[in-house]
Structures are given as C-alpha cells and as structure tokens.
Amino acid sequence: MTGTSKAPSRLDETDRRILRALQRNGRLTNAALAEEIGMAPSPCLRRLKALEEDGVISGYRALIDRRQLGHGVEAYAFVKLAQSDPDWRTRLIEKLKAFDEVISCQAMTGECDLLVHIVADDIEAYGEFAMQRLLTLPGIADMRSSFVLATIKPDRGWPV
C-alpha cells in the first residue's frame, strides 16, 4: 500500500452540493454539475478532482436491476463464528470474500459476528450455495438466512 489518504479537507457547503448531485447522478458531466450547483465549470472540476484525490469520492458505479441479471433472490446470512484461532478466521474470511454470491460482508457487534449479503438466481440456487459451499466452511458455528421480500427504501447513498 502506498497512498496514505490525507484528510485536512473539511467539506464546505459547495463540496456537499457536489456530492449530493453525484450521488443522485454519478454520470453528470462536469458542465452539467457546475450548472446544477451554480458555479463555473473550471472551479467545479477543481473541487471534484480534489474530492476524488482525497478519497471522499472513492469511485462511481452503475446501478443495475438484479432481476434483469437473473438474480431473483437476495438474502442476508447471519453468521456466528466458532471460537477458533485467528488463522482459521482469516482463512474463512478469505473464502467468503471469494464467492461471487457474496455481495458484501461485514463484521458486526451483537448476536451474529458476520452479516453476509448474498444474491442467487433462485431459492434452489441459494439453498445449494448456503448448504454446499457456505456451511461446509470450517469455522462457522451457526448461520441463519433471511430473504428480502421487498425493498421499502432503496439505498440512495449517505446523507450529505
């Protein structure tokens, strides 16, 4: 790892307007962005570059309808780890990260140790993945799956 992120940058209201706009539409051209926040294109681009440089903006992503990819099932697995040496834990984590079905994984406080966001084409595929590939990993003491029935509030990013 080379680049240590600096962080003197306190975000002012202009920065925040830029972030808000790009969270709504990450593909805005600089010209359109500048107009939206009421600023000339050049200083707007300067700020945008600084925000990227400082890692405030870490990237851009196209949002895709998972159903049209054939992924009919979205689930969360609540995983409780067996107490085992850190080595095992590390290897488990590595395996977990490698699965395409695992969208994201976070270590948590509380009842479960890991919150694993999973996608699969259908329930059968999910079952096979969970039983054959997840639960067979050494180091998992317990796992419960919950399936997404409906998205009540879709993720639109952080409040800025």
Partner DNA sequence: AGTGAAATGACCATAAT
Partner DNA sequence: ATTATGGTCATTTCACT
Q: Choose, by CB under 8 A, the member of 1, 2, 83, 149 that binds a copy of itself.
A: 149
Residue 40 interaction partner, one of a copy of itself, DNA, none, beta carbon < 5-8 Å per kind: DNA
In the complex, least distance from residue 100 CB atom to DNA, rounded to whole angstroms:
24
In terms of CB distance, is 24 or 46 closer to a copy of itself?
24
Measured between alpha carbons, how far is 33 from 77 in angstroms, rounded to an integer? 39
For residue 16, the tally of other CB atoms under 10 A from its CB is 13
Structure-block tokens of residue 73 = 């099932």
In the complex, least distance from residue 144 CB atom to a copy of itself, rounded to whole angstroms:
7
In the complex, least distance from residue 40 CB atom to a copy of itself, rounded to whole angstroms:
21
Structure-block tokens of residue 48 = 């945008």
Q: What's the angle, vertex CA 114, arms to CA 109 and CA 120, rounded to 5? A: 145
Interaction site with DNA (CB under 7 A): 12, 14, 29-32, 39-47, 49
